[in-house]
Amino acid sequence: MNPVLQLSAQDWLSLFNHFASLSLLAVGGAITTAPDMHRYLVDETYWLSDAQFTSSIALAQAAPGPNILFVALMGWNVGLNAGAGLGGGWTSVALASLGVAVTMLGIMLPSSILTYTATRWAHKHREKIGIRAFKSGMAPIVIALLLATAWLLTVSHNLPARDWPLYVLTALTTLVVWRTKLHMLWLIGLGALLGALGWV
Amino acid sequence: MPETAPLNQPRSKTDLFVSFTLLALQGFGGVLAVVQRELVEKKRWMTREQFVEDWAVAQIMPGPNVVNLSLMIGGRYFGLPGALAGLAGMLAAPLVVVLLLAVAFGGVSDAFWAQGALRGMGAVSAGLIAAVGLKLIGALRSNPMGMPVCIALATASFVGVGLLRWPLAYVLLGTGLVACGWAYLQLARQATRDGEAP
């Protein structure tokens, strides 16, 4: 059991500020700023344990929905720690919800306002050559980024002798989704099953 | 892919909210693959070409890219309320699900089988992302830079990010500036040509 955290209003504000300052740096996904979140939440303030930090990321990846929700889980856990865990009853749940609200608003507000404003402006001027050049120019590059992301995820398992079944699973998924209309949930379920059984 | 039938569009902000909620709840290990299949192939709210362009912007802006995409699409049809409907659809239901999972399974995620399941799902989601990338290559055919230039730029970006592991920002600045500059020249030339034609 973690000792109960005492968080002042000042602490909640600085939690908000930290996530808000990371928001605009999160080009290529909020996960790229995870190392800084770790430094702040685990190493500096001790608001989260290392295990809570890691399992927040893992759980959000396993769950449906945008991966950004790992931030909500971090906020949830900070709140729980401040309220004596789930044993703290409704006080804990209230604090945990506050944690979710503070971290999610922090990470989402600045980037969403910027994206919304910029894309409305760009849409209004979409016939201008500069805007069209930006979209056309970036198209092949973001396609390459998708392929590079898939590649990096694959080679992060870096022992071919042990990890080759994972490589095969990735390759098969690519082929099936590219060429057929099979529902993706079947593939995700298959991956989870094979993994849980220890076959990949 | 010839576009014959006209495109559809969301009927209302509720339609937008419900559609994005359903998309998000199907998106294990990332929502992009589901978004591409549903919005382009099934609902036909946008063409593959439009999707690539929007995705480029959504990915380059800071913030979670599928959330940016939902803001952009919602905003295009219904302004700010639409953007908020799209955003809420993308986040609200999955947030509830992930919190319930945290309460129920918070302690399980260290178990051996759970780690294994995550590994397996991770491998599948890598495949999903790769498949979207491959599908979108076809959309480059109508790109004003021409296919060979597109392939060269894509290859250079892939090598930079994927093989040499350079920081994303440098690669975007490098290949991105070249690409946008070249696209600008091509579009400007096209515009003068069209201007001269009777």
Same domain, A191 and A98: no
Residue B134 · residue A178 · CB < 8 Å: yes
Asked if A16 and A109 sit in the same domain, the reply is yes
B135 contacts B48 by C-beta, under 8 angstroms = yes
Structure tokens at B131: 């498949």
Query: Token pair of B66, please?
Result: 């599928």
Helices (H), A40-128: 50-62, 69-82, 90-124
Q: Which of A118, A150, A171 is the last residue of a domain?
A: A118
B28·A185 Cβ contact <8 A:
yes
Rounded-to-integer distance, Cα B6 and Cα B69, Å: 22
**Token digits of residue A126:** 């979409």
Q: How far apart are the C-alpha atoms of A1 and A80, rounded to whole Å?
A: 11
- Residue-level length of chain B: 198
Determine, for residues B176 and A138 on separate chains, whether the beta-carbon distance falls below 8 Å.
yes
What are the C-alpha distances in Å from B13 to residues A124, B31, B50, B86?
Answer: 21, 20, 21, 8
One domain, residues A29 and A59: yes
Q: Are A47 and B74 in contact (CB under 8 A)?
A: no
pLDDT of residue B180: 95
Same domain, A75 and A25: yes
Kindly state whether residues A152 and A83 are assigned to the same domain.
Answer: no
Tell me the pTM.
Answer: 0.86
- In tens, the pLDDT along A29-73 reads 777 788 889 999 999 999 998 888 888 887 887 789 998 999 999
Q: Within this chain, do residues A103 and A42 fall inside the same structural domain, yes or no?
A: yes
- Position B115 scores a pLDDT of 83
Cβ-nearest to B61 among A115, A147, A176: A115
Measured between alpha carbons, how far apart are the two ends of chain B, in Å?
30
Would residue A20 count as lying in a domain?
yes
Same domain, A103 and A192: no
Q: Which residue has the tokens 């930006």?
A: A134
Q: What is the DSSP letter of A86?
A: G
A64 domain residue, yes or no: yes
Closest to A109 measured CA to CA, from A195, A14, A19: A19
- Dump pLDDT digits (tens) for B77-125: 999 999 999 999 999 999 999 999 888 876 666 678 888 888 898 899 8
Per-residue pLDDT, B28: 82
On whether residue A131 sits in a domain, the answer given is: no
Q: What is the CA radius of gyration of chain B?
A: 20
Q: What is the pLDDT of residue B92?
A: 96
A16 plus A108 within the same structural domain: yes
Q: Is residue A124 part of a domain?
A: no
The whole-number pLDDT of residue B198 equals 53
Please name which of B196, B111, B63, B112 lies closest in space to residue A25, comparing C-alpha atoms.
Answer: B63
Closest chain B C-alpha to A190 CA, distance in angstroms: 8
**In a domain? residue A25:** yes
If asked whether residues A152 and A111 sit together in one domain, one would say no
Helix A129-155 vs helix A160-179: crossing angle, to nearest 10 = 140
Does residue B196 register a pLDDT over 80? no
Q: Which of B32, B113, B124 is nearest residue A173 as measured by Cβ atoms?
A: B124
Tokens of residue A35, six digits:
């190392």
Taking alpha carbons only, the member of B171, B154, B89, B143 closest to residue A28 is B171
Instruction: Please state, in angstroms and rounded to a whole number, the distance separating the CA atoms of residues B165 and B68.
Output: 25
Task: Give the residue from A91, A118, A145 where a domain finishes.
Answer: A118
| Whole-number Å distance between alpha carbons of B196 and B198 | 6
Domain limit, last residue, from A66, A83, A118 = A118
Q: Sign (positive/negative) of CA torsion B153, B156, B161, B162?
A: positive
Q: Which pLDDT does position A86 carry in this prediction?
A: 66
Give the ipTM of the model, two decimals please: 0.88
- Residue A147 and residue A63 share a domain: no
Return d(Cα B63, Cα A29) in angstroms, integer.
6
A93 and A142: one domain? no
Helices (H) then strands (E): counts for chain B: 7, 0
The label of the residue with tokens 């906020």 reads A75
Domain-embedded: residue A82: yes
Query: Average pLDDT over chain B, rounded to whole?
Result: 89
Classify B9 in phi/psi space as left (phi over 0), alpha (psi -120 to 50) or beta. Answer: beta
Judgement on whether residues A14 and A112 belong to the same structural domain of the protein = yes
pLDDT digits (tens, 9 = 90+) for A151-195: 988 888 888 888 999 999 999 999 999 999 898 889 989 999 999
Report the domain count for chain A. 2
Contacts of B145 in chain A (CB under 8 A): 136-137, 140
Q: Is residue A74, in this structure, part of any structural domain at all? A: yes
| Residue A3 domain flag | no
Domain that holds residue A191: 137-196
- CA closest to A80 among chain B residues: B103
